[in-house]
Structure 1
């Protein structure tokens, strides 16, 4: 079952990693991303999620830079409730050459890499928006489990301006500290 889920996830990520038949201009891409500052935990505040994360609670994505330049990723969540068992996924990120660290290929299963475009990051690296040219998935993440309503509205407008249907965005419930399992 796990292998089937992983294959479906990989297929959905790689199906249209580029523009494909999309006639929209590419989503924004930061001019440059400081990988050292980008590393660490990010709370998923809201997303148009991948199928496995569609009912995520307490979702956190943590990045660790390997000496070879690849990025160890741990996506941790609970599915459906705050007391559900923890699920952890371990894709690997690979910076796309010539993008100043702003675009990655995210690999769940070899050889498929999904498009991961850092469309926006705050100057202090407190929040980020990760997008895809196909506009099928988007993630708003922050260094804290919640953000102000004003900041959320500003980021949601940025996502809408990228061409996303914001009616598809799901706020990810975050409740910390977590209750003991």
Structure 2
């Protein structure tokens, strides 16, 4: 079993136990999520990271919607610097928990599914926040490696209003093209939907 996958699963703990911390406001859900529009590349601008990605550089999440409704995912980043080793994980998303396309189960190891909530999505599908009820992890993502400062400040304020502590949020360094000449988002092929 891939070591990164094991660490992610251990870090998420018991995925069934997704209770909110005391005094945390209810976690919002983006309304009317169009999954087809949500697909494609998302650059991680800031995050409350999982342990394996706590020193991520050039982090990019890529989604592909399969005919059966699954979302095949490729998450790639450089571990510890722009020239460091490329890390890749390929979880599968299962959108539509309780009929809500903003709530997914994300599976790193079958049959376990971690909570994955599209808590905010701008009208143009250019920026999003993915969060968890426990407020243990979150990702602010944008369609380009750089997010305009005003939008970034507003999005970080949204994250704080959701119950995340500002001191837990790490800005993810993004620099493209990469030093080895790779164009964004790098050499990772699109996720493949298998029958």
In the superposition, the TM-score normalised over structure 1's length comes to 0.92
Q: Indicate if the aligned counterparts of 2:25 and 2:162 stay in contact, CA closer than 8 A.
A: no
Match of 1:7 in 2: 6
Counterparts of residues 92-111 of structure 1 (less than 5 Å): 92-111=92-111
Q: Distance in 2 between matches of 1:83 and 1:155?
A: 28
Aligned ranges for residues 110-121 of structure 1 at < 5 Å?
110-121=110-121
Distance 1:15 1:97, change over 3 A: closer
Instruction: For residue 166 of structure 1, report the CA deviation from its aligned partner.
Output: 1.2
Aligned residue number for residue 48 of structure 1: 48
1:29 is matched with 29
What secondary structure, in the 3-state scheme, does the structure 2 residue paired with 1:174 have? coil
Give the secondary structure class of the aligned counterpart of 1:112.
coil
Partner of 1:85: 85
Contact 1:17–1:134 (8 Å) recurs in 2? no
Q: In 2, distance between residues paired with 1:159 and 1:99?
A: 24
Distance change >3 Å, CA 12–CA 75, structure 1 → 2:
same
Give the equivalent residue in structure 1 for 2:123.
123
Deviation at 1:14, TM superposition (A): 4.4
Aligned-partner SS, 1:11: helix
C-alpha contact (below 8 Å) 2:19/2:133 kept by paired residues: no
Match of 1:166 in 2: 166
RMSD: 1.7
CA deviations on 1:69-127 (whole Å, 9 max, x unpaired) are: 10000001100010112111100000134343100011111121111000000100000
Task: Show structure 1 runs of 4+ deviating over 6 A.
Answer: none
Q: Secondary structure at the match of 1:176?
A: coil
Structure 1 residue 178: Cα displacement: 1.0
User: Partner of 2:193 in structure 1?
Assistant: none
Extract unaligned runs of 5+ from structure 1. Answer: none
Cα displacement string for residues 19-60 of structure 1 (whole angstroms, at most 9, x for unaligned residues):
337343431111221000000000000000111111100000
Q: Secondary structure at the match of 2:81?
A: coil
Quote how far apart the aligned CAs of 1:17 are: 4.8
> Counterpart in 2 of 1:20?
19
SS of residue matched to 1:44: strand
Give 1:130-145 correspondences, 5 Å limit.
Answer: 130-145=130-145
